[in-house]
Structure 1
């Protein structure tokens, strides 16, 4: 599962937990740290039972499945990403500049 899909699931669960339990979570950390994500899953399931909120249990299950499917994609340092973008830009030919004849465009 792609990191963006895991982030979407984490964000949806974050909104549900905020509305139902008043709990604020860190969605990016849920994607990056499996232990934190599984603790949020445990908490969401507990609150689903307490508050009779089946949607919490459903989204907790989705997050748990996403955590166990594939590891999160490794993060690249910003400097590496920027350097790669500069190299790509330098390798591509410069864009053509339109030439005007007289004052006509």
Structure 2
């Protein structure tokens, strides 16, 4: 999942937690640190159950899913393959550009 999606989910959960529980969180840290996100998810689920706010649990589930989402293996390419392809593209010599024919000397002066 793209980082921008994680950040959007974290921001939405941050706003809900602030409004419903008074808790202030760090959205940027929540989007990149799995341990912090897991603790915020745990807290949000606990408060959702205690306070009867199902929306908190829904957004906590979204964040939990986003933090554990893994890119499909087909989308990843080994670094060696990427580097080999880049080297091969550079190794192909470019065709020289044609130079227009111009007189070698102007007015007989060398």
**Larger Rg, first or second structure (1 or 2):** 2
Q: Which runs of 5+ in 2 are unaligned?
A: 72-110
**Residues 1-105 of structure 1 mapped to structure 2, 5 A cutoff:** 1-70=1-70
**1: CA distance, partners of 2:70 / 2:25:** 21
1:5-38 deviations in Å (ceiling 9; x for gaps): 0000000000000000000000000011100000
Higher relative contact order (CA 8 A, sep 6+): 1
Structure 1: distance between partners of 2:6 and 2:53:
21
Offset at 1:57? 0.1
Q: Deviations over 1:50-100 (max 9, x none)?
A: 1100000000000000000048xxxxxxxxxxxxxxxxxxxxxxxxxxxxx
What 5-or-longer segments of structure 1 have no aligned partner?
Answer: 72-105
What TM-score do you get using the length of structure 2 for normalisation? 0.63
RMSD: 1.1
Identify the residue that residue 104 of structure 2 maps to in structure 1.
none
Q: In structure 2, how many angstroms separate the alpha carbons of the residues matched to 1:50 and 1:4? A: 30
**Could you state the TM-score of these two structures normalised by the residue count of structure 1?**
0.66
Q: Counterparts of 1:17 and 1:70 in 2: how far apart (Å)? A: 26
